[in-house]
């Protein structure tokens, strides 16, 4: 069932409507009962993992993975509008819309835009099949927003790179068998010109490749990211994407994709959470309380605003523009990340003392976890402050802030 009963305010093209029909029929015929209503937890049990793997396989066979990639690379060449339609249809019957994670959304677009034909043949199919699972080694202790200050270095040794240094906040390291990372390959070149973008296997022939992950606990208690140390890790020179010392442009493609088109359908999850909270509040007999209603009204109205800005973004996509451009991407990132934070705060407030109680073994419930996790959403993928700078300078044309790192391109600024 749709999470928002309101009619769509945009007129879809004939081809978009027929695509919606195709997806709807396919889902009716192929979505098994085991995935209907399935919530993928942040730490799935082995049973849920198995269900997810089966569903991922079904989607792969139906060519419903990496759907935005061009057909020649195994995707379906779907437009942003069609991707949004697909998300809506999955949401309508409440089945998980699985993707190939960072491989699909961050590395794939960079390979498609900057790799050689041979590299595309070698690296794209294993992302679609799920054989290669990537994590992102960009941030360093002294280079987050100021990404080009990175110091992890690599030297050329015959036909390979030998990598040494440290990264941090490597999300999903525990699932990955590949890491895409930025390394300084020419210390004498200007800051943005001596960097290479390289795909590094985490093991080689089953043996460790000099990469050590030291897990960092998040507030939720889960170690979802790590410090990452490279000690003489190696990667073939053929794994450098975009050319040796020319990795910055490749990295910019990845960062542009990081904010991507998810804003077009983020509201689907927001409405789902809203109705969930309404149910909980009603069960507590608080639904007629004016103060409660005010907060719920804000939550609903803002989700509607996000829905409409999502449609606006869809229109941009339909006109052939990409959503990663400075204005759309940054303002959407600010809006949804701040909305998510506030939404979880409201839930904590409305659930009152219950929000403080944790389960046996100290498990968090969904809202407690949401509250803690969403603190970080205004940080990753470019902080809200950096996004505001981009909107101010690039969209509104305000004068640049005098800043100590003025020679750099802040993360997320493309």
Ligand X SMILES: Cc1cc2nc3c(=O)[nH]c(=O)nc-3n(C[C@H](O)[C@H](O)[C@H](O)COP(=O)(O)OP(=O)(O)OC[C@H]3O[C@@H](n4cnc5c(N)ncnc54)[C@H](O)[C@@H]3O)c2cc1C
Binding footprint of ligand X on the chain (CB under 6 A): 136-139, 144-146, 169-171, 225, 376, 379-380, 382-383, 385-386, 389, 403, 410-411
Q: Please give the C-alpha separations between residue 234 and each of 126, 129, 159, 172, 202, in angstroms, as whole numbers.
A: 20, 24, 10, 21, 9
- Closest to ligand X by CB, 202 vs 350, is 202
CB of 100 to ligand X, least distance (A): 15
Q: For ligand X, give the closer residue by CB, 75 or 410.
A: 410
22 is catalytic: no
3-state helix, strand, coil in the chain (%, to 5): 50, 15, 35
- Would you say 184 and 198 are in contact if contact means Cβ atoms under 8 Å apart? no
Q: Name which of 137 and 260 has its Cβ closer to ligand X.
A: 137
In this structure, are strands 134-137 and 178-184 parallel, antiparallel, or unpaired?
A: parallel
Only one residue has tokens 């509104």, namely 396
Q: How far is the CB of 197 from ligand X (least distance, A)?
A: 12
Length of the chain: 414
CB 139, min distance to ligand X, A = 3
Cβ closer to ligand X: 312 or 376? 376
Distances (CA, A) of 19 to 11, 81, 261, 304, 364: 14, 10, 18, 25, 39
Judged by beta carbon, residue 310 or residue 410, the one nearer ligand X is: 410
Query: What distance in Å separates the CA atoms of residue 260 and residue 310, rounded to the nearest whole number?
Result: 12
The minimum distance between CB 285 and ligand X, in angstroms, equals 36
- With beta carbons less than 8 A apart as the criterion, state whether 155 and 372 touch: no
Minimum distance, C-beta of residue 411 to ligand X, in the bound complex (Å): 5
Give me the helices (H) in 260-404, please.
266-283, 290-318, 326-351, 366-374, 384-390
- Out of 258, 302, 369, 370, the active site residue is 258
Q: Active-site positions?
A: 258
């Amino acid at each position: 069932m749709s999470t928002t009963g309101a009619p769509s305010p945009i007129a879809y093209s004939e081809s978009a409507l027929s695509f919606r029909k195709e997806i709807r029929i396919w889902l009716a015929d192929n979505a098994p009962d085991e995935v209907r209503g399935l919530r993928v937890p942040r730490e799935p049990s082995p049973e849920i993992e198995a269900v997810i793997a089966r569903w991922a396989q079904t989607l792969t066979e139906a060519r419903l993975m990496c759907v935005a990639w061009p057909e020649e690379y195994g995707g379906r060449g779907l437009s942003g509008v069609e991707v949004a339609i697909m998300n809506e249809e999955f949401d309508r019957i409440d089945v998980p819309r699985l993707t190939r994670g960072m491989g699909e959304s961050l590395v794939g677009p960079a390979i498609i835009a900057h790799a050689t034909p041979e590299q595309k043949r070698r690296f794209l199919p294993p992302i679609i099949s799920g054989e290669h699972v990537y994590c992102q080694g960009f941030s360093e202790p002294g280079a987050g927003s100021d990404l080009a200050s990175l110091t992890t270095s690599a030297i050329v040794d015959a036909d390979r790179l030998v990598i040494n240094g440290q990264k941090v906040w490597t999300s999903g390291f525990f699932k990955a068998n590949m890491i895409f990372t930025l390394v300084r390959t020419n210390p004498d070149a200007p800051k943005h010109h001596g960097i290479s973008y390289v795909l590094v296997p985490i093991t080689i022939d089953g043996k460790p490749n000099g990469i050590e992950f030291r897990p960092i606990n998040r507030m939720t208690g889960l170690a979802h990211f790590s410090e990452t140390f490279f000690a003489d890790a190696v990667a073939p020179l053929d794994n450098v994407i975009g050319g040796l010392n020319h990795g910055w442009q490749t990295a910019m493609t990845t960062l542009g994709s990081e904010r991507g088109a998810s804003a077009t359908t983020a509201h689907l999850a927001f409405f789902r959470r809203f109705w969930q909270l309404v149910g909980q509040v009603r069960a507590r007999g608080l639904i007629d309380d004016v103060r409660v209603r005010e907060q719920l009204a804000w939550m609903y109205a803002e989700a509607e605003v996000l829905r409409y800005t999502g449609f606006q973004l869809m229109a941009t996509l339909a006109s052939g523009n990409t959503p990663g451009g400075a204005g759309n991407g940054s303002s959407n990132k600010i809006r949804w990340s701040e909305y998510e934070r506030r939404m979880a705060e409201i839930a904590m407030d409305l659930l009152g003392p219950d929000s403080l109680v944790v389960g046996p073994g100290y498990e968090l419930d969904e809202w407690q976890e949401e509250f803690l996790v969403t603190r970080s959403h205004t940080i990753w993928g470019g902080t809200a402050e950096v996004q505001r700078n981009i909107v101010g300078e690039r969209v509104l044309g305000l004068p640049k802030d005098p800043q100590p790192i003025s020679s750099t391109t802040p993360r997320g600024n493309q």
